[in-house]
Structures are given as structure tokens and as C-alpha cells.
Structure 1
Amino acid sequence: MKTSRHLAAALAAAAALTLSAPAAHAAPAPASPWCASGKTVNFAGLNWESARFLTEVMRYVLEQGYGCKTDALPGTSIAMELALARNDIQVFAEEWIGRSTAWNDAAKAGKVMAVGDIIKDSSEGWYVPEYLVKGDARRGIKASAPGLRSVADLPKYKELFMDDEEPDKGRFLNCPSGWTCQGVNTQKLKAYGMGESYVNFRPGTGPALDAAIASAVQRGRPVLFYYWSPTAMMGRYKFIRLDEPAFSQACWETLTTPNNPHPCGTVNPPNRLRVGLSRAFHDADPALAALFEKMNVPVDLLNALLAEREARKLEAPALAVLFLKRQPAIWQAWMPAAVAAHISSTLK
């Protein structure tokens, strides 16, 4: 990602030159000690859609509201978490707390800090299209599984989700091989007594999983799959999440141990999505730490934004500006009024 400022910021700066009072658009004195010292705030250049969006929102706010220089350094999640622990980067926009050994070790060592709740009410689990259970009169689709509510119901619906290559079994669309969720779902198939009645189908990539789901939904076909939010997929279509047994830590440990011969089923633990900061940055800049502590984007809004990005082929910086223009009531609550007013002036 280039270090140049966002296009929207450049246009706003150019427009400021036409004002009779040049000071009207001058950046306020930085409230950030880190940025006032001339240091760059380096972000993790994360590669999933919600994290890319959040990173660009944060960069715009820091650049236009606090006079900061920012950059985003590309790398895998684990590499970025290790970089955060070394203070090579300062901000990890969407950290899934407790899912990474690299993060857990750095947190225990006091090298990183998790602040705020950047996305609340995110979810993951096993889903089916809503029309299977409720039908869709607009599309002329009758409910083919009106009694489907829970994973416990799935063995009797294997014919509905028939696998193309093994028609005597149903098909479950798992995560791609190599993803943590793939191993968990494989153990769940055993725990729910579906190991012999369903094919554990692993798409080669995330986009391949998306394509398989979207193709089935667009044709009004049955499909059973694992998925999560926030994502564009959840913003585009209506799905029903199947009930699973209440969370049990003991059972969760059997699901995260790939070779456990007797896994027991449980819903995934609640997600905690927070902003990760290097300890050095957190302690050096109380103003920006307080900003990140207050940041939150509602998950339903985020799903809809990501779906719009996909439909309109928007890049993450453009989507960030769109959000800031449309949703001032959300982001202005994160910061002092003077900072919010200056950011607003760049968005006109």
C-alpha cells in the first residue's frame, strides 16, 4: 500500500486553496504525541475485506483529524502480530482475540494491548439459505426444509444437500484446507454424527467457497456451509444460522484438537474483535489510545457496506470515505468535537 494520502484527502486539500481564509482548513495542532513528534503510525496491511476497510477508516481519521503520517505494511496475520509485538507496526485494526498463539504470547508478555470493541456481535457457524426453511414467494421457491432448525436435524436432510460425486451423502461446505476453522468443522462433523452421511468438502480457497455459496443461492438450490461475519456475503443474502449445543470449553478443546477421537459438539466461543496496539504506542499516545478504545462499527452496517463494495467494485479507501460521509453520528462519537469538525470539513 502506498504511503501517499488518500485521494479524497488530496481533493479536500486542493479545495481548501480556494478559500479566502487559508487557515480555515489548516490542520489542527496534533492532539497526538506520537504524531506531533513526526513518527509514522504503521498499520498492519491485513488482507481480508472488513480489516482493509477498518484500516482505511482509521488512517483517514488519523491523517485528517490528528495530522498523522500513516502507512500500511503488508503481511500475514501472524507476521503482523509479531511485528506489533516488536513495535515495528503500531496498529492491528481487527484482532480476533484469543485465536492466535502469536497474539496470546505477546499479550501475556505485555508487548501488545487490545482496546475497544471494533466490531460487536460478529458471528460464525453453520448456515443454510433462508428460503430452504421459509421459502421465497418472490422467487417462487417453496420451503424444502421447514423443520430445519438445528445441526441435530441435519442427518435426516442429507438427500436435500446431496453431494454431486457421492449422491448417497449430503455435502457440507467447509473452510479451505489450512484454515483453523477447517479442522474445527471436521471435528464437528464427527461430533454431530455426520461423518458417514456427509461429504466434508473443502474448497481450495476463500473465493472458491464464496463462489460455491453464491452459485447455489442465485439458483435457489440447497447448500449447507460454514461462514462468518462481518462479510459481504452476509450483507448480500439472507441466511439462517443453525442451532448448536451451548458453549462448553471442554468440548471446544476436543474440537480444536484435530486427532481427538471423541469430539463433543458446541457452538463456537463468542468472538471478541478488538483493535490491537503495540504496548509502546499505547503507552506513548493516550489520545490515540482513547480514540481506538471508542471505535466501533455495527456489524449489520459493516456487512451492508462490504456488499456494496463488492457490487460497485470499490477499493477500501473509497469505501472508508463513503462511510465517513454517510455515518457521521457513528464516528464523531469516537473523538473530541474539534477533531470531528475538522474531519467533516475534508469530506465536503
Structure 2
Amino acid sequence: MKKLFLSAAATVLCFGASSAMAAEDCGSVTIAEMNWASAGAIAHIDKIILEEGYGCDVELVTGDTMPTFTSMNEKGEPDMAPELWINAVREPLDKAVAEGELIIGGNILNEGGVEGWWIPTYIADEHNIKTVAEAFKHPELFPGAEDSSKGAFFNCPSGWNCQITTGNLFKAFGGEDAGFELVDSGSAAGLDGSIARAFERKEGWLGYYWAPTAILGKYDMTLLDFEVPHDKAEWDGCTVKTECADPKKNSWVASEVYTVVTNEFAEKAGVAMDYVKGRSWDNRTAGKVLAWMTDNQATNEDGAYYFLENHEDVWTKWVTPEVAEKVKGAL
């Protein structure tokens, strides 16, 4: 990874001369609008800032992790993937960066993408529960199982890889022996609904979730400590496998989430590359924007304007004062 970023930095330095280009020379730029909310919102934020602040002509195109990366790597388009979860494409990305075809921009999610097991913070505080082991001592605090004598542990929807992972870890940590029942949430809406119901009733809830998300932006949840380090060999060889006869205790590792751009974009973007390299937000801020979007049935574009209008303290640090004034004037 260190080599990747050294290579990325060296590549970017090659365009130091072009960084003096005037903003109006930025030209046409294509940005992938990924099909999940945080990435969709940041794509529209980028569009507004690059157009209004740097004079770019931005077109948003539909994207997803693997298709977008493959197209950028093989065809040089789109120009930018604002939120790429690079764990899924690490080896080919390393190669593309080393060959100077793609460039790593900013660490858009500065805490990374976080997966794990969560409980409401009011339960964590009241009962001093901070770890999986402590939560498993209290099945009575987590209702919702078909068998009322057991605690409910809410798993991912069917078909999601995290359903397999959580099932294996539930077994490894002795969830059944601790008096819990693994509950199939059925769908993403079902998983979200189970959390919303728990908060409405001020009840306990225990299960899998991830950040940044609207749910964690709306509801105050505590991530439980697995108290074991991430074992990559065990993870790849058993934890994520459907056939894992004897899963061992393990934990998620935060996913690295960066902006990736093409070589061509870096050449034509000029000083806009400084923005692409420097912008970043934390999961709590992203979660608040996503929660507002959900509550207001807002589009990704609506979310972008909400962020720019309500979080100047965040985004104005990404740009020069001159660019910030241009963007503010356009809101």
C-alpha cells in the first residue's frame, strides 16, 4: 500500500506544471454516480464544486464498484470515481497506479468504511456494554427472537456476503450457546425497520450494520469491540466462506475508501486536482446528510445542496477562499 501511494504521489507531481492552468481550462469531466447514497451525494457535491468553483463542465454517469473501476482501468472513463471501496479492487488498482493509468485522490471517507456489530448507545451506556462478550451475557436485553426465551441477533439480508460472515462469527463467538437466536432480517428495509422499532420502543437491538449510513446518522449506535485482531488468513479462508466448518473468532477491518481518477483527468483538471486530493469527510457527517436525505425523500442532488448549505465548516476547508466564495454564490 505504501508503494501505491508513493507511486500515486510521484504521478501527481508530474502534473505540477498543469496545476497552474486556469480554472476555465478544466474542460469536460465525467464522474461516476455510484448506486449507494453516500457515493451518490459526494458525486453531486463534486459536480457543484468543480463546475462553480473551477469552471469544469461535469457530466454524471451511472456507476458501481467493479464496472466503474474496470471501465476506468481499461477505457479511461469515467474520469473520476469519488467513492471507491478499494479493498475490492486492490491488486488491479495497485497495478494501474504503478503503470500511471490511474491516480489515487483524497481519502474521501477518512475513517474508512466500518462494518461490525452494533447496539443502541443507550443500552451500551446503561448496562456498560462495550464488547461482543459483554453483550452475549445479556440475551434478555435484546428482544425480537421467535423464541421469547432467547435474545435476537439480527443478521444481514439473504444474498449479502455479510450474512455469511456474520453467521460464521455468530457461531465462533458462541451466540447460540449464549442464548441468542440468529434472525434473518429478510431485506435491507427489514434490517432498518428492526432498528427503528427498537429505538421507538427504547428496547435493545443487536446485529450487523455498517457506516456511513442514514440509519447510523439518525440513531446513536455503539460499535462493539470483538477483542481480537483481524486475521486475514482466517478471514479469507473461512470467515467469508459458506462452508466454514470451524470458524474462529475474528473481526472486520475498516475498508479503505478513496477517490480514484484517470491520468487524463489529472492532466486537464489543473488546480482542481488539489480539491480532489484534499477533500474528506467523517462517517458522522456523511451519516447526518444521509439521514436528512432519507427523512426528506431527497435525491442525491438535494443531499449535496443540503451539505453545502449546512456544513460550510467542512467543505470550505477543501478549497481556497476564492473557490469557496464562488460556490457559495451559486447556492
TM-score normalized by the length of structure 2: 0.81
**Whole-Å Cα distance in 1 between the matches of residues 84 and 266 of structure 2?**
15
Amino acid at match of 2:96: A
Per the alignment, residue 341 of structure 1 pairs with 325
* Alpha-carbon displacement from aligned partner over 1:294-324 (angstroms, at most 9, x marks no partner): 0012332222222222223332212212322
How is 1:183-222 mapped onto 2 (pairs within 5 angstroms)? 183-195=164-176, 197-222=179-204
Per the alignment, residue 6 of structure 2 pairs with none
Where 1:50 maps in the other structure, the secondary structure is: helix
* Alpha-carbon displacement from aligned partner over 1:132-165 (angstroms, at most 9, x marks no partner): 2334xxxxxxxxxx15332123443234434542
Larger Rg: 1
Where 1:109 maps in the other structure, the secondary structure is: helix
Mapped pair 1:149 → 2:147: no
Kindly state the Cα deviation for residue 32 of structure 1 after the two structures are TM-superposed.
6.4
- Percent sequence identity is 26
Where 2:23 maps in the other structure, the secondary structure is: coil
**Equivalent in 87, 96, 108 of residue 118 of structure 1:** 108
* Alpha-carbon displacement from aligned partner over 1:150-184 (angstroms, at most 9, x marks no partner): 21234432344345424454322122223232222
**Equivalent in 55, 58, 67 of residue 79 of structure 1:** 67
Kindly state the Cα deviation for residue 60 of structure 1 after the two structures are TM-superposed.
0.3
> Unaligned stretches of 5+ in structure 2?
1-20
**Equivalent in 23, 26, 40 of residue 31 of structure 1:** 23
**Whole-Å Cα distance in 2 between the matches of residues 149 and 326 of structure 1?**
32
Amino acid at match of 1:161: F
Mapped pair 1:327 → 2:311: yes
Amino acid at match of 2:105: V
Kindly state the Cα deviation for residue 284 of structure 1 after the two structures are TM-superposed.
4.6
Distance 1:298 1:76, change over 3 A: closer
> Unaligned stretches of 5+ in structure 1?
1-28, 136-145
**Equivalent in 204, 209, 212 of residue 227 of structure 1:** 209
Per the alignment, residue 57 of structure 1 pairs with 45
Distance 1:73 1:217, change over 3 A: same
Where 1:117 maps in the other structure, the secondary structure is: coil
Kindly state the Cα deviation for residue 293 of structure 1 after the two structures are TM-superposed.
0.7
* Alpha-carbon displacement from aligned partner over 1:56-109 (angstroms, at most 9, x marks no partner): 1101011111222222222433222222223221111212221x14x5424323
Mapped pair 1:93 → 2:108: no
Kindly state the Cα deviation for residue 50 of structure 1 after the two structures are TM-superposed.
1.2
Per the alignment, residue 252 of structure 1 pairs with 235
Where 1:306 maps in the other structure, the secondary structure is: helix
Amino acid at match of 1:310: T
Mapped pair 1:271 → 2:255: yes
**RMSD in angstroms over aligned alpha carbons?**
2.5
Distance 1:128 1:63, change over 3 A: same
Where 1:116 maps in the other structure, the secondary structure is: coil
C-alpha contact 1:126 1:242 (8 A) present in aligned 2: yes
**Whole-Å Cα distance in 1 between the matches of residues 208 and 303 of structure 2?**
27
Per the alignment, residue 221 of structure 2 pairs with 239
**Whole-Å Cα distance in 1 between the matches of residues 312 and 142 of structure 2?**
44
Structure with more of its chain in helix, by fraction: 2
Amino acid at match of 1:222: G
Size of the alignment, in residue pairs? 303
Mapped pair 1:301 → 2:282: no
Distance 1:77 1:201, change over 3 A: farther
Distance 1:285 1:246, change over 3 A: farther
C-alpha contact 1:87 1:281 (8 A) present in aligned 2: no
* Alpha-carbon displacement from aligned partner over 1:111-132 (angstroms, at most 9, x marks no partner): 4332211122253211111232
TM-score normalized by the length of structure 1: 0.78
C-alpha contact 1:95 1:274 (8 A) present in aligned 2: yes
**Whole-Å Cα distance in 1 between the matches of residues 128 and 41 of structure 2?**
38
Structure 1 runs of 4+ off > 6 angstroms? none
Where 1:181 maps in the other structure, the secondary structure is: helix
* Alpha-carbon displacement from aligned partner over 1:36-59 (angstroms, at most 9, x marks no partner): 3xx3x2222212221111111101
Mapped pair 1:107 → 2:90: no
Where 1:247 maps in the other structure, the secondary structure is: coil
